[in-house]
């Protein structure tokens, strides 16, 4: 082992996000993956569940009870699991990135409202920096604990942030129509993910009260306390990816030039934001298909002049910018690496 490298362990490496973390970190020049845990697959090679890693690593899953201290710990556990053992994880490592929902909220009552159960470590809420580098870069650099955003939340926030911050849109209505790939539901099989039920479906599975609504509002209220959003989620026949179509209304008679100015003001130097609005061609607006495997968030827009409606469109790979890739971006900031390290993949076409 190269002692100069950052040692990183992954708790919960058997799921799709765990597999993406492995894929990215195995090619990261500054990282040594120390351990990867799984209760159900202890002793098996990681390539047993993540066959794309065949021949790349000899790592095997270990039990969480056998976890050793390392430089940075990434928790890729189901929602509600991290908080039950957070003292244990903090005793092992000084720096933690949690990709579950457990520490995204500042208040226990918000967690309980959106997740329907009591928070078991409310004293830790507020100690985690919310992990969106494009907004909280400096806080993440010096953070010990980072909470990764939800996949639908991060793309919606990145789309709305410039306009809420600069008070260009009305506080209400803001309607987020999210179309989601099947991998966002995780690797555990369910009735809804059974192939005869999932294939060919365009299923409105959460037309109201989507969990990420509270997360999105909590962030946006920092910049405008009066803001309110409504989220509807639809499952479509796509494995990876999220496309959000966000309906907002301008506070003044705006035009394309005004919108471009605001987007460039906030994002022109961001390495993983790609602004997409073209007058011709097949991919004139953001498209999940062209960002698969990347840490890129594409953002585009269209103005309907007669109604002053500003439609904002965003696309990400939910497993990368929506989870594992964004975690690596945060890790790079925390460890002092160049922010793009290990995340340079530009995607494939066609796929």
Q: Give the residue numbers annotated as catalytic, written as ranges.
A: 151
> What's the Cα-to-Cα distance from 38 to each of 20, 69, 79, 220, rounded to whole Å?
15, 17, 16, 36
| Contact assessment for residue 140 and residue 91, using Cβ atoms and an 8 Å cutoff | no
State the DSSP code for 40.
T
Residue 31's nearest CA partner among 335, 326, 320 is: 335
Measured CA to CA, the distance from residue 189 to residue 198 in angstroms comes to 11
74: phi then psi, degrees, rounded to nearest 5 = -115, 125
CB contact set of 152 (below 8 Å; sequence gap of 6+) = 176, 178, 180, 184, 210, 212, 231, 233, 242, 244, 318, 322
Residues 6+ apart with CB under 8 A from 247: 173, 174, 175, 177, 309, 311
Distance CA 2, CA 140 (A): 26
Helical H segments across the chain, by residue range: 16-26, 86-92, 108-115, 133-141, 151-165, 195-198, 212-220, 256-267, 325-335
3-state secondary structure of 56: coil
**104 neighbors 126 (Cβ within 8 angstroms):** no
Whole-number Å distance between alpha carbons of 89 and 245: 38
- Interatomic CA distance for residues 324 and 18, integer angstroms: 8
């Amino acid at each position: 082992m190269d002692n100069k490298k950052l040692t990183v362990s992954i708790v919960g490496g058997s799921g799709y996000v765990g597999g993406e973390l492995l894929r990215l970190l195995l090619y990261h020049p500054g990282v040594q993956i120390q351990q990867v845990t799984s209760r159900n697959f202890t002793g098996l090679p990681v390539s047993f569940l993540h066959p794309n890693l065949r021949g790349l690593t000899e790592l095997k899953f270990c039990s969480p009870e056998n976890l050793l201290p390392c430089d940075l710990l990434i928790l890729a556990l189901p929602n509600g699991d991290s908080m039950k053992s957070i003292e244990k994880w903090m005793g092992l490592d000084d720096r933690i990135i949690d990709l579950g929902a457990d520490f995204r909220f500042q208040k226990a009552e918000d967690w309980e409202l959106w997740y329907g159960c009591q928070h078991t470590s409310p004293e830790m809420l507020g100690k985690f920096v919310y992990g969106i580098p494009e907004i909280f870069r400096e806080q993440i650099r010096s953070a010990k604990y980072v909470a990764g955003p939800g996949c639908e939340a991060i793309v919606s926030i990145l789309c709305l942030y410039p306009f809420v911050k600069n008070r260009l849109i009305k506080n209400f209505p803001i309607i987020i129509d999210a179309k989601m790939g099947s991998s966002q539901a995780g690797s555990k099989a369910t009735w809804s993910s059974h192939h005869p039920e999932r294939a060919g479906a365009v299923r409105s599975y959460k037309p109201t009260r989507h969990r990420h609504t509270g997360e999105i509002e909590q962030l946006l209220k920092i910049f405008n306390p009066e803001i309110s959003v409504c989220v509807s989620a639809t499952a479509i026949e796509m494995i990876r990816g999220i496309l959000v179509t966000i309906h907002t209304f301008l506070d003044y008679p705006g035009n394309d030039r005004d919108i471009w100015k605001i987007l460039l003001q906030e994002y022109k130097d961001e390495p993983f934001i790609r602004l997409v609005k073209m007058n011709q061609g097949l991919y004139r607006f953001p498209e999940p298909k062209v960002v698969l495997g990347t840490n890129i968030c594409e953002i585009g827009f269209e103005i309907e002049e007669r109604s002053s409606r500003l439609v904002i469109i965003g696309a990400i790979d939910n497993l990368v910018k929506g989870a594992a890739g964004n975690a690596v971006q945060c890790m790079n900031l925390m460890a002092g690496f160049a922010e793009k390290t290990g995340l340079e993949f530009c995607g494939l076409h066609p796929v």
